[in-house]
Every structure is written in C-alpha cells, then in structure tokens.
Amino acid sequence: MSNIIILFIVMQVLHAICTWKLYRLAGYKAWAAAVPFYSAWILLKIIDRPWWWIILLYTPVAGCVMAFVIWTDMTRAFGYRSTMWVILSIVTLGLSLGYISYMGQPVYDKEYRLHRQKLDSSVIGALTFAVVAASLIKTFTYEAFTIPTSSMEGSLLVGDFLFVNKMKYGSRIPMTPISAPLVHDSLPGMGIKSYIDGFSLPYMRTPALNDVKRGDIVVFNYPADNPKEKPIDKRANYVKRCIALPGDSIFIKNGYVTVNGEKQEWAAKARPQWAHYLKYDKRISGELAAMGVEFAYTPIYDAATGKETSYVYISQEMLDEIKSMYPGIITRRLTMSLDEPSTLEDIFPDGRGFNIDNYGPLYIPKAGDVITLSSENISQYRDIIYIYEGNTLTEQEDGTFVINGIETDSYTIKQNYYFMMGDNRHNSLDSRYWGYVPEDHIVGSPAMIWMSLAADDGKTPFFKRIRWERVMSFPSGDGELKSYLLHVAVGAVIIYGASTLYSRHKKKRSGKKNQK
C-alpha cells in the first residue's frame, strides 16, 4: 500500500509540473494542477468530459485505460491533434504534455468539444470505451473462463465455457492496479508480464451476496503458483469444490469425505468420480469413450483371450450404467490403503502420513484462531505464517519459533481458509497436495455454462462437437444439470416478434397522423 501512495504522490507532482501552464491557459488557477482529486475534476472540465469519469480514473486497471484517454484529450485540446502527438502522449505516459507546456505553443481550443466528438464517434473512440466497459465488467461482475483440465470431470467437463460470478462472494478489488486490461498475467503472444511489479493494493472486497458454503464450486487463484513472485490476483485460476469451511475438521477414509464427523452428501449435479479397474471379454473401449469415459491409461487388449483391461475415472452413476450395459464386466475401485504412501507428490502437510484416499483428520483454520506451534504441526501452518500472511518465520534447532523477530510458541490466524477438492478425486491437484486456500485468493463461483465443446478429434464437425445438453446450463444448485438453450431461444423469438410488431404499429399510427 505504501508503494501505491508513493506512486500516487509522484504522479501528482509530475502532473502538476507538466500541466500547470495548461490549466492557466484554460482559465483556471495554476495551483489546481497540484491538488489530488480536485486537479482531476478541473482537468475533466478542461477537456469537457463528465465529472463521474473521476470514478473510472481512480478505479484499478480501468484507470490505466482512462489515463491514456485523458492524456490524448489534453494533447488535442491544446492544439496538438496529429497522430504523432496522440501516440507520443501514450508512449510517454503523458509527459509529452510537459514539452507542449514549456517548449511548444499551446492554445486552448474553445471549440475542442466539436473536434473531440469526431474522435468519440470513430472506431478508435468506440474501441477505447468498449475496453473500459469490458474491463469494469471483467473486474467486478462476470468473467469468462474455460475448463482446461479434467479435475472437475463429472461436474464440469473439459471444454466447458463458463461465466464466473465475482459478485457472489464480494468482488475483489484488483491488487495489481497498474495492469493491462482484459488479460491475466501475461500479454498474449509476447510472453511478458501484463502488470507492473511493486505496486499493490491491500486485500479488499465489495459486500458479498453469499458466503462460501460447503459444496460450492469455487474459482480461486492457485496458492502455490510462484507465491513469492506473483501477486495474488495474477496467479493461475483454479476451479474446485469447497469441501470444508473455516473452523471445520475434514477426514477422508477410503475415499469418502466426512466433515465434522458427518459423511458428505452431494447434489445430483455434483458427481465425484474415482479411478476404477475394468475388465471385459471383448473390446469396448471405443463405446466407453463415446459415453464420455475418461481413461487413465491406454486400454490393453489381449487378442489371444479377447479380453480388454481399462483404467478409467468414473462416477458411481456411470459405473452403474456400464454394469447394466455390459453384464459380466469385472470392476474394482482403485482406492489407496491406509498405510500406502502417495506415489504422485508430497501430500499436505508434510510428515503426517496421509494419502489421497485416507486423509486427516485435518483442521481448517479461521480468522482469530490462536494456534500453539510445535515441530509436529508447523508444516500445517508454515505457509500461512510465512507466505499467505506475510510474516518472517525462523524455526530454531531447539524446536522454538521466531516470528517477526519475536520468539513465540503461538500464532493468531489473520484470515479464513478453505479446503478445496476436485470432483475427479484421483485426477485432481487440490488441497490434499498444496494445502489451504486463503480467503483473499477467492475469485468467484461459476454462474453458467454458456457453451460446451467436446475435444477436437480432427474428424467430428464443429456443430457435432457441441454438447447441446450443457449449453446455457447452471452448474450450481440442486437437481440434474439442465440446458435452458431452448427457453432462451424461444424468449428471444418472442421479444423480437413483439418488438417488430410494436415498431410496425408505431409506424402505422405515425403514418395515419401525417395523413391527417
């Protein structure tokens, strides 16, 4: 936050140095250029823009675009309207106004508004404000996401295109305010950062519409994505299901989850799936693939015996369907035993002997918890203390701890934490591997699947790849997943028809009046 304040002061000083003469030429006091916020209000008067642009100017991310608009407006308002000067105002971040003030021959154009209106009605003007509007929508309301992996398979499929509601849990104010609009952590095709390091805002949210609940599908920034280098809001976006809330205790036995001693039940839309072994006396892998079954490995077919063996990720509902279709099929759920160590990666927290199917009990910390630290539990809280809550931490040889230079055996948790898991339980990188999800990492919740495409196999036409039963569906809530595409189409036809009839009726009435 201190870096942002310093940047704000430096920018205000530079603005005053570069533009005080221009303020005076426009009929205002020179000192007005040096006063924070007031200078912006006067500036908008000079370039004849609405006062509420101040809000956009000081809004993170969108403000970066607005600054470019204002610099180019100022350049043109004082007579420098060529393309070269407009580009210079952007490339120099407005410092070219200083050259115009001291070395040029600026003349304030009383008729500037007429010239500006020409630009506003141009393609450039339309694109500029489309970017501003899209940036505000993306930052504070809804953002489009794509499901790239199968970690939520059974509920969300690879190729699902989502609108994520950022208002549900409170829209998070961007922590990296100096950032390119409409992109995430890098500029497409360039491989360079889309934001400027070193300038950040503290974690803040608008009021939430709902709290995170157990069973919610949640989009969040991946906590383990280079946390000491990347800002929180520029870390990779993950989508998982919230299994446990702050203050809960989670326990997994033979793959089944209990929270606070109660076995978890899921809505019909939430279909967890596990790894299964399948064996049948003929080749059926092609038929299984057509059903949407995900294979862990390439099926093995023994031509001598005519038997085929597959390792697949499927839900209980899919398993029951396969059994009914292929009587005599041999199936076995592949669950890790209690004493079997994980062979994939280290399991969180280190040294506890958990695996993905037999996990816990593990407590999920909440804000205000006072944790007594020990060598046995420090692996559970190390990232919270050091990375997520920004303290220094030294673990001494005698088993004591030094936090922020003070020796202590306890720590007070500053924010809430959550435990997230993928519905594809044996093919998901989630909290079992890297731990808790901090509250300040939460982005929002999937609101609607607006399009769903099966993988391109190079043979199937595009329209046949569309999963029509998922288009315009809502992944949250109870009941089966249902497409509302037909409802939307019918509604659109009715609205269009009513609008057309009304327009014709209005023209007819207008024609009769003219005849009179």
At residue 389, φ and ψ (nearest 5 deg) are -115, 10
Write down which residue in 376, 391, 414 finishes a domain.
Answer: 414
The domain boundary residue, chosen from 376, 396, 414: 414
Domain shared by 18 and 97, yes or no:
yes
Q: Which domain holds residue 329?
A: 147-171+206-364+417-480
Give, as one character, the DSSP assignment of residue 349: S
Please check whether residue 183 lies inside any domain of the structure. Answer: no
291 and 439, same domain (yes or no): yes
Strands 273-280 and 330-333: antiparallel
Backbone angles phi, psi at 19, to 5 degrees: -125, -5
Angle between helices 62-77 and 83-91 in degrees, nearest 10 = 140
- Same-domain pairing of 221 and 327: yes
DSSP 53-74: HHHHHTSTTHHHHHHHHHHHHH
234 with 267, same domain? yes
475-510 burial code (b ≥16 CB/10 A, e <16): bbeeeebebebeeeeeeeeeeeeeeeeeeeeeeeee
Residue 307: give its domain's CATH number.
2.10.109.10
> CA 75, 77, 82, 86 torsion: positive or negative?
positive
- 503 in a domain, yes or no? no
506 found inside a domain? no
Rounded to 5 degrees, what are φ and ψ at 330?
-95, 125
pLDDT of residue 118: 62
CA distance 148 to 422: 13
**Terminal CA-to-CA distance of the chain, rounded, Å?**
70
**pLDDT for the residue 345:** 56
Give the other-Cβ count within 10 Å of 209's Cβ.
12
Q: What is the pLDDT of residue 245?
A: 97
195 part of a folded domain: no
Q: Which residues are 220's β-sheet partners? A: 238, 442
Q: Report H helices in 397-444.
A: 431-434
Asked if residue 357 and residue 316 are part of one domain, the reply reads yes
516 residues of the chain, pLDDT tens digit each: 567 788 888 889 999 999 999 999 999 999 999 999 999 999 999 988 888 889 888 888 888 888 888 898 898 889 888 888 888 888 898 899 999 999 999 999 877 766 666 666 555 666 777 788 888 888 899 999 998 888 998 789 999 999 999 999 999 999 998 888 888 888 888 888 999 888 888 999 999 999 999 999 999 999 999 988 899 999 999 999 999 999 999 999 998 999 999 988 877 778 889 999 999 988 888 889 888 889 998 999 988 888 999 999 998 888 999 999 999 899 999 988 877 665 545 899 988 889 999 998 999 999 999 999 999 999 999 999 999 999 999 998 888 899 999 999 999 999 999 999 999 999 999 999 999 999 999 999 999 999 999 888 788 898 889 999 999 999 987 778 889 999 988 998 999 888 888 888 777 777 665 665
Report CA torsion sign: 476, 478, 483, 485. Answer: negative
User: Both 41 and 162 in a single domain?
Assistant: no
Report how far residue 234's alpha carbon sits from residue 218's, in angstroms, rounded to the nearest whole number. Answer: 17
- 461 and 378 within one domain: no
The half-sphere exposure of 108 on its side-chain side, counting CA atoms within 13 A, is 15
Q: Which tokens in the block code for residue 222? A: 């991946």
Alpha helices in 250-334 (DSSP H): 285-290, 316-325
HSE-CB of 196 using CA atoms within 13 angstroms:
11
Structural tokens at position 502: 């009304």
Distance, CA of 253 to CA of 336 (rounded, Å) = 10
Q: Taking phi first (over 0 means left), then psi (-120 to 50 degrees means alpha), and beta for anything else, what does residue 408 get?
A: beta
Taking the C-alpha atoms of residue 429 and residue 469, their distance in angstroms, rounded to an integer, is 28
Nearest C-alpha neighbor of 291 from the set 239, 326, 265: 326
In a domain, 489, yes or no: no
Whether 169 contacts 140, CB under 8 Å = no
Residue type, 33: A
| Domain match, 401 and 431 both | no
Angle of helix 2-25 relative to helix 38-46, nearest 10 degrees, comes to 40
Shared domain for 214 and 120, answered yes or no, is no
Task: Please check whether residue 516 lies inside any domain of the structure.
Answer: no
Cβ-in-10-Å burial (0-12, 13-18, 19+) of 118 comes to exposed
Spatial distance between the Cα atoms of 64 and 57, rounded to a whole number of angstroms = 7
Phi, psi of 199 (to 5 degrees): -120, 115
Same domain assignment for residues 380 and 353: no
Q: In Å, what is the CA distance from 109 to each residue of 20, 26, 27, 46, 84? A: 17, 9, 12, 10, 19
Q: How many domains does the chain have?
A: 3
In a domain, 515, yes or no: no
Q: Are 252 and 357 in contact (CB under 8 A)?
A: yes
- Residue type, position 464, single letter: K
- C-alpha of 220 from chain center: 6
Contact predicate 65/181, CB 8 Å: yes
The answer on 210 and 309 residing in a single domain is: yes
Short-list 20, 55, 57, CA closest to 35: 20
Do residues 257 and 352 share a domain? yes
Contacts of 367-370 with CB under 8 Å at 24 or more apart are 367/246, 367/413, 367/414, 367/415, 367/416, 367/439, 368/412, 368/413, 369/247, 369/412, 369/413, 370/410, 370/411, 370/412, 370/413
Structure tokens, 286: 């092609």
